[in-house]
């Protein structure tokens, strides 16, 4: 392994817990990651040593809280190679960020008859905001097909771009298939067609290097809780000129520079989009998470996940009656640390329940990507294991052993 995983695991006390008398194997990081002690301690330190509201406080602990909050934005900007922390807007989660884009930018810019383009592998959070916007505006929501139920059909993508969509929104990495899309190429094609580009980075930013300027996306969304940070904090990145010209749709409190009973003037970036008291502790914990990942190195994070994903695909490929969805072992360089699978004769919910009896935590369902799972894969649900920096090959072996238990309990013969 490229990482000292045993050393890393020492920072995650929850991984020492036992479920049903057995050591916990946590394979659900695509839903939410675990948090290292360093993140927990950063939040506790805030609460116990300098808990105060940010901005305008003239006393020491308020100044310290404000500085820590801004520092986390600076770290986030560096993480994705943004020009400035002014481009980093904090909100509740990636879903919230995508809704902010659809409402703040979409409402004034999308007109009747305009086209909006997404793909067949999108999460609900990158479908429904655009769907609702299209219905309100009389616009047309279109979607690009997949090849082999794994990769975006680039010829179909180019054909759909001939309709000159106003906005093209797509995921960087699928939370079901694990597919890593060539978003740099997709962004260039979309820009050439006159569209703005929105990237859902929820499944990529925590797991691999990302360069917002190289990708040239106009907006991008991701979440702290999927990358070792606290829950309740989402990140909206935007090009500064677009953020400046866009009107926020949630207003009040510190996002206002001046106000009378007749007029209001918005604050400067990034505060223009952050109304009310923000998730201060979440931001401070997120800063600690970024620093933790920075010490490991995002290239090393990606290398580790490729290794363990390759191993998981190899082990599953040795078992008859198991179907893996998305890119296979020969395309592991195009696959994030997500492995969705079926066991012939077993419902995914039964699979997850039996896995849990062996203390192996996986997820089962449509994974908030119902059109992909039901209309493309032809399933009502799939089982999914997902990996992060603290997972080991031995844990994949535990999952494989649990598959044999599923067959035994359900009396499945192959």
**Per-residue pLDDT at 318:** 96
Query: Quick one: which of 102, 122, 117, 218 has its CA closest to 163?
Result: 117
Over residues 318-339, the pLDDT tens digits come to 999 999 999 999 999 999 999 9
Based on the number of CB atoms within 10 Å of its own CB, is 21 exposed (0-12), middle (13-18) or buried (19 or more)?
Answer: exposed
Cα–Cα distance for residue pair 360/385, rounded to 1 Å? 10
Does the global pTM surpass 0.95? yes
pLDDT score of 31 more than 70: yes
Active-site residue list = 368
Q: Which two tokens stand for residue 265?
A: 């003037």
Domains and CATH numbers, the chain: 40-294 (3.40.640.10), 297-410 (3.90.1150.10)
Query: Quick one: which of 403, 342, 400, 352 has its CA closest to 373?
Result: 342
Over residues 69-87, the pLDDT tens digits come to 999 999 999 999 999 999 9
Cα–Cα distance for residue pair 178/176, rounded to 1 Å? 6
Over residues 154-201, the pLDDT tens digits come to 999 999 999 999 999 999 999 999 999 999 999 999 999 999 999 999
Over residues 385-401, the pLDDT tens digits come to 999 999 999 999 999 99
């Amino acid at each position: 392994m490229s990482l000292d995983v045993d050393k890393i695991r020492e920072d995650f006390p929850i991984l020492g817990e036992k479920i049903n008398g057995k050591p916990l194997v946590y394979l659900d990081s695509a839903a939410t990651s675990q948090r290292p002690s360093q993140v927990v301690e950063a939040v506790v330190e805030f609460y116990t040593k300098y808990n105060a509201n940010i901005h305008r406080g003239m006393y020491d602990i308020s100044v310290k809280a404000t500085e820590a909050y801004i520092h986390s934005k600076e770290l986030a900007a560096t993480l994705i190679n943004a020009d400035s922390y002014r481009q980093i807007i904090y909100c509740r989660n990636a879903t919230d960020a995508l809704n902010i884009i659809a409402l703040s930018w979409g409402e004034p810019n999308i007109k009747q008859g305009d086209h909006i383009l997404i793909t067949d592998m999108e999460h609900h959070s990158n479908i429904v905001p655009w769907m609702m916007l299209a219905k309100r505006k009389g616009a047309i929501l279109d979607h690009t097909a997949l090849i082999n139920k794994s990769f975006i059909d680039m010829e179909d993508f180019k054909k759909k771009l001939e309709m000159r969509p106003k906005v093209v929104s797509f995921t960087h990495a699928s939370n079901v298939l694990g597919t890593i899309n060539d978003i740099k190429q997709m962004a260039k094609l979309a820009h050439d067609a006159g569209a703005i580009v929105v990237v859902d980075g929820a499944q990529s930013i925590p797991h691999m290097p990302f360069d917002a300027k190289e990708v040239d996306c106009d907006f991008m969304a991701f979440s702290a809780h999927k990358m070792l940070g606290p829950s309740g904090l989402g990140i909206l990145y935007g090009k500064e000129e677009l953020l400046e010209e866009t009107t926020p749709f949630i207003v009040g409190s510190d996002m206002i520079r001046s106000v009378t009973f007749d007029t209001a003037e918005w604050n400067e970036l990034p505060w223009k989009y952050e109304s009310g008291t923000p998730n201060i502790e979440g931001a401070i914990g997120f800063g600690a998470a970024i620093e933790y990942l920075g010490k490991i190195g995002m290239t090393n994070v990606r290398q580790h996940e490729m290794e363990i994903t390759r191993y998981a695909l190899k082990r599953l490929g040795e078992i008859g009656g198991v179907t893996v969805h998305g890119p296979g072992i020969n395309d592991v360089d195009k696959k994030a640390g997500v492995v969705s699978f079926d066991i012939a004769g077993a419902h995914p919910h039964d699979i997850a329940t039996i896995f849990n009896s062996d203390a192996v935590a996986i997820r089962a369902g449509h994974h908030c990507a119902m059109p992909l799972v039901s209309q493309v894969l032809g399933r009502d649900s799939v089982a999914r294991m997902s990996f992060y920096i603290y997972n080991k090959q031995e844990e994949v072996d535990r999952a494989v052993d649990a598959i044999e238990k599923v067959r035994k309990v359900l009396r499945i013969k192959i």
